[in-house]
Amino acid sequence: MVWQRFRKKFIGDKAFYKLVLTIALPVMIQNGISSFVNMLDNLMVGGIGTEQMSGVAICNQLIFVFNLCVFGGLSGAGIYGAQFSGKRDLEGVQNVFRFKVWLVGLLSVAGLLALHFFDEPLLSLFLHQGSEQGDLVLTLQCAKAYLAVALLGLPIFAMSQAYASTLRETASTTLPMGAGIAAMLVNLVGNWILIYGRFGAPRLGVVGAAWATVLSRIVELSIILLFTHLNHRAHPFAKGLYRTLKVPGALTGTIIKKGMPLLLNEALWSSGQTTLVQIYSTRGLAVVAGINISNTISMLFNIVFMSLGSSIGIVVGNLLGAGEMDKAKDTNTKLTAFSVLCCFAIGGILAAASGVYPLFYNTTDEVRAIASSLILITSAVMPFHAYTNACYFTLRSGGLTRLTMVYDCCFVWCVCIPLAFVLCRLTALPFVLCYAAVTATEGLKALFGYYFVKQGRWIRNIVGEE
């Protein structure tokens, strides 16, 4: 009897998992390949030396803030895109996309200006003595050289994400996946040729890695544009998409009202994560390198709960837009349970890799030891990350963007960062223990998430309300 109730509440039937995997699996494959190639990219740069690897890692922390701002801004608009799609309102989907075009354009200009004119002051925030080895001057030089080229890819990436997000909201997940796979292959081959100077190409080192990334962004956007606009039957929103770039004022206002908190959330959350790395960096360059190694492999495993979280936003958003409230609630519960269960298994695999993966890097024993410990800590809290990520997308699917911002970024700035600052700057605790204490706060965040979701305020049709 207990098992039957448990199964009814938390476990879906074959049709349910087929629907979920139809949406999640292409995203998972795309993100998985992206993370895998990023890992190989990281290994290639790491094969040059610790300073080169650390310089690129620091640049990617700054670019990470830009990428998450794009994601946040598109997510805010995407709430309406998903619900308009569920409502089968083609004009609504088109207007949401046009809003996205203006948004990514503004974000690209802001990102380029900030990272171009304030590159050295921002990069220098992460460079501190404190470990056994590490040339800070060389690390800064490598970081500046990489960033100068990588900036060219920011607006291209932003436009690709505008298209990819709309395609996913309209249940066209295979095209972004295919474009992502092609782009990652270009990035991988480009890295091998340009970093090490294969086939007569110049040996460019970190600059070669940056050019390979830019080329991969161009390929990704080109494929998405070509196949979206040549197949209007599969992608009907693309027909007449650019007959105007005007967005109805009422829709613009409602998207900004609902979406701005998500943009602010991603900006504050990503800058919060970057601030955490900056606080950790005060313990030395070896810590920066260790975090980079740990984060690279962790992202490969995190794609499971991240993709399932995106599925919650799309599937539940579609159901809410269609007015199927009870089904939306039931689907959300089963999706959340599925995500958490998967991450118990994935976390175990990550833990098993903790002692082996750092050995592939051309770095010091100190860096390898730090990286191995951080990977173990990350694997232990992965089920909690899965749950909090599911809560984030659940609240977002119903348009509770202000609550989403409080839940997500305020936790980082009000709990994680103060704790990290006190432990790293005001105590002599070993860095690994400091990191473990900060990471363990994810359990507290999970309790808050449970409370907010249990309230049920997210169960509403916002396109109907508007």
Q: What is the pLDDT of residues 76-103, one digit of tens each?
A: 788 778 778 777 777 778 888 889 989 9
Contact 382, 343 (CB under 8 A): yes
Task: Please report which confidence band the pLDDT of residue 2 belongs to, taking 50, 70 and 90 as the band edges.
Answer: low
**Can you tell me which residue has the tokens 């803030």?**
65
- Flag whether pLDDT at 231 surpasses 90: no
Tell which wins on pLDDT, 232 or 441. Answer: 441
Q: What pLDDT is attached to residue 4? A: 64
Task: Please report which confidence band the pLDDT of residue 373 belongs to, taking 50, 70 and 90 as the band edges.
Answer: very high
Q: What pLDDT is attached to residue 377? A: 95
Each as own residue / partner, the long-range contacts of residues 251-255 (CB below 8 Å, 24 or more positions apart, any chain) are 251/80, 251/92, 251/95, 251/96, 251/99, 251/466, 252/99, 254/80, 254/466, 255/76, 255/77, 255/80, 255/96, 255/99
Tell which wins on pLDDT, 215 or 42. Answer: 215
* Maximum alpha-carbon separation in the chain: 70
Average of per-residue pLDDT across 184-188 = 87
Contact 317, 79 (CB under 8 A): yes
**90-94, 190-194, 367-371, 449-453: lowest mean pLDDT where?**
90-94
Mean pLDDT, all residues of the chain: 83
Average of per-residue pLDDT across 50-64 = 82
Task: Please report which confidence band the pLDDT of residue 178 belongs to, taking 50, 70 and 90 as the band edges.
Answer: confident
Please write the tens of the pLDDT for every residue from 292-327. Answer: 889 888 887 888 888 887 777 777 877 777 777 888
Q: What pLDDT is attached to residue 395? A: 85
Helix (H, G, I), strand (E, B) or coil at 47: coil
Please give the structure tokens belonging to residue 410: 């305020």
Q: What pLDDT is attached to residue 106? A: 92
Report the share of the chain in percent with pLDDT over 90.
25
User: What is the residue extent of each domain of the chain?
Assistant: 11-465
The DSSP annotation for 188-218 comes to HHHHHHHHHTGGG----THHHHHHHHHHHHH
Q: What pLDDT is attached to residue 350? A: 92
Q: What pLDDT is attached to residue 220? A: 92
- Flag whether pLDDT at 109 surpasses 90: yes
Please give the structure tokens belonging to residue 137: 């001057």
Which of 314, 302, 297, 301 lies closest to 21, judged by CA?
314
**201-215, 388-402, 407-421: lowest mean pLDDT where?**
388-402
